[in-house]
Amino acid sequence: MLLFLCLCQLHFAVAQDNEKQPPNFVIIFADDLGYGDLGVYGNPTIATPNLDQMAYEGQKWTNFYVAASVCTPSRAALLTGRLTVRSGMSSNKYRVLFPDSKNGLPAAEITIAEQLKQAGYSTACIGKWHLGHKEQYLPTNNGFDYYFGIPYSNDMDMISEMPYWKYWQQEDEAIKTEHFNVPLIRNTEIIERPANQNTITKRYAEEAITFIKENKAAPFFVYLAHNLPHIPLFTSKEFKGKSKRGLYGDVLEEIDHGVGKIISTLKEEGLADNTIVIFTSDNGPWLPFKNNGGSAGLLRAGKGSTWEGGMREPAIFWGPGLIAPGLITDIGSTMDLFTTFSKMAGVDIPRDRIIDGQDLSATLLNKAPGPRKSIFYYRGTELYAVRLGDYKAHFITQGAYGQFGEKEVHEIPLLYNLSHDAGEQFNIAKKHPEIIKEINELVALHKSNLVMGKDQLAERE
């Protein structure tokens, strides 16, 4: 009886705390991790017990998308809740920002961190940024109180004489972290160059844990964007040779280990009941790198393309006090995190611009049917494909990095039923002109109010 009373009081105390304070949010974002790379998404040899456990305790989404199939626009869309054709963070000249790019995320854009600052959140960006390396574009000028990470991809600033493309296709022991003169930045200062990438995954997790512990009194938002498993692949000594899947598996197992440490910290600090942790990735696997790249599982193609393998990602939502556990087959997008977090934190959605994110909170909290019905698949500033419900129409198809075919414009779009045919193998356009008509109408509506942002990626120094 006494135990029963104590448990009741404990439950009451936690519920009161939760009422006082909006939830904490932690986004763990991998780089170039494919739909088929986690144990819980069917990988037969990569061991991801912590992510698997998160999925069992939380929600596993099977139709969750990024807004672009490469790093810079995918990250910009996640943080702003907007298609990058609106913000100018995608281009037909260069697909991502480079170390000599002139620009970055425009100051007028509003990030999730800026939204959550309005509700008193402490905010940290840990890991790869890739939205502009100059000081005015860094996370600390985009709503984050704290930044620790690299400003662009871990393969940039290469200072090895080996031919780039060949280098990666071999699992070559000669690949060293010193071959990449990538800076590691704390807030706005370079603290290490080249960044030691052998220990970087471990250090990112440690930084996230320290930030959580130091900021647990107020609500917090941690955006932990690992720069791996984007090539070049590196692990700390403890993980080298650990996975049956080789070096790529080692890298994922180290990321998974860090996820487990973060979850343990949230539990130990009494924060688990009021925190939502999301794990997903910025785009699909970089397939030309063979075993150094990941797997899109049953999905077609990978990074760089608008086939499903480029833009559909694993997405796990964990939060034992908030998330209703289950398998979610509704459509979601990384852009929805902007809107969902804002709503949960009680912050108004900006009204002076189009926000593409939708509020997933009813699905997350109660497994109510999701609001999102469509996905726009952009490559640069061109709309290549649209998903509406179960159906996806490709107006333009193109592979990436020399694989999966040249650019082709389809007068009659290719049409796939993604619920029956997630691998996009069987074109059913001839059978369903009425669906193509419906998708065309959606495209016309979308284009009718589209104002394209000034291209921020085109200029280099």
At how many degrees (to 10) do helices 247-268 and 200-214 cross?
10
In sequence order, the β-bridge partners of residue 101 are 460
The CA distances from residue 119 to 122, 369, 398, 437, in Å, are: 9, 28, 43, 43
Residue from 26, 33, 71, 271 touching Mg ion (CB under 5 A): that is 71
Residue 432 known to be catalytic: no
Question: Which listed range, 67-75, 123-131, 233-241, 409-417, lies at the site for Mg ion (CB under 5 A)?
Answer: 67-75
Which residue's CB comes closest to Mg ion? Answer: 71
Question: Which listed range, 29-37, 51-59, 353-361, 414-422, lies at the site for Mg ion (CB under 5 A)?
Answer: 29-37
Q: How many CB atoms lie within 10 A of CB 68?
A: 31
Pairwise CA distance, residues 445 & 51, whole Å: 39
Question: Which listed range, 23-31, 171-179, 405-413, 419-427, lies at the site for Mg ion (CB under 5 A)?
Answer: 23-31
The residue (of 31 and 37) whose beta carbon lies closer to Mg ion is: 31
# of chain residues touching Mg ion (CB under 5 A): 5
Phi/psi at 149 (nearest 5 deg)?
A: 170, -170
> In the window 75-134, what residues touch Mg ion (CB under 5 A)?
none
Contact pattern from residue 258 through residue 287 relative to Mg ion, giving x for each residue in contact according to CB under 5 A and a dash for the rest: ------------------------xx----
Helix (H, G, I), strand (E, B) or coil at 148: strand
Residue from 24, 28, 29, 31 touching Mg ion (CB under 5 A): that is 31
The residue (of 66 and 414) whose beta carbon lies closer to Mg ion is: 66
Residues 303 and 70: beta-carbon distance below 8 Å: yes
Residues 405 and 399: beta-carbon distance below 8 Å: yes
Report in angstroms how near the CB of residue 398 gets to Mg ion at its nearest: 18
Question: Which listed range, 63-71, 322-330, 353-361, 381-389, lies at the site for Mg ion (CB under 5 A)?
Answer: 63-71
Report in angstroms how near the CB of residue 193 gets to Mg ion at its nearest: 22
Report in angstroms how near the CB of residue 227 gets to Mg ion at its nearest: 9
Cα distance from N-terminal residue to C-terminal residue, the chain: 72
The residue (of 71 and 78) whose beta carbon lies closer to Mg ion is: 71
Q: Note whether 311 binds Mg ion by CB under 5 A.
A: no
The residue (of 18 and 401) whose beta carbon lies closer to Mg ion is: 401
Report in angstroms how near the CB of residue 34 gets to Mg ion at its nearest: 11
> In the window 138-167, what residues touch Mg ion (CB under 5 A)?
none
Q: Active site residue: 6, 8, 11, 71, which one?
A: 71
Residues 144 and 123: beta-carbon distance below 8 Å: yes
Residues 6+ apart with CB under 8 A from 235: 198, 201, 247, 250, 251, 254
Residue from 22, 25, 27, 32 touching Mg ion (CB under 5 A): that is 32
The residue (of 32 and 313) whose beta carbon lies closer to Mg ion is: 32
DSSP 235: -
The residue (of 99 and 389) whose beta carbon lies closer to Mg ion is: 99
At how many degrees (to 10) do helices 247-268 and 49-57 cross?
50
The CA distances from residue 148 to 185, 284, 336, in Å, are: 6, 25, 25
Residues 6+ apart with CB under 8 A from 118: 347
Pairwise CA distance, residues 80 & 333, whole Å: 12
Q: Active site residue: 6, 8, 125, 130, which one?
A: 130
The residue (of 27 and 71) whose beta carbon lies closer to Mg ion is: 71
Residues 6+ apart with CB under 8 A from 114: 142, 143
The residue (of 231 and 263) whose beta carbon lies closer to Mg ion is: 231
Question: Which listed range, 69-77, 174-182, 248-256, 365-373, lies at the site for Mg ion (CB under 5 A)?
Answer: 69-77
Question: Which listed range, 65-73, 136-144, 180-188, 415-423, lies at the site for Mg ion (CB under 5 A)?
Answer: 65-73
Among the residues of 355-401, which ranges form H helices?
361-366
| Length of the chain as a residue count | 461
Binding-site ranges for Mg ion (CB under 5 A)? 31-32, 71, 282-283
Q: Which residues are catalytic?
A: 71, 130
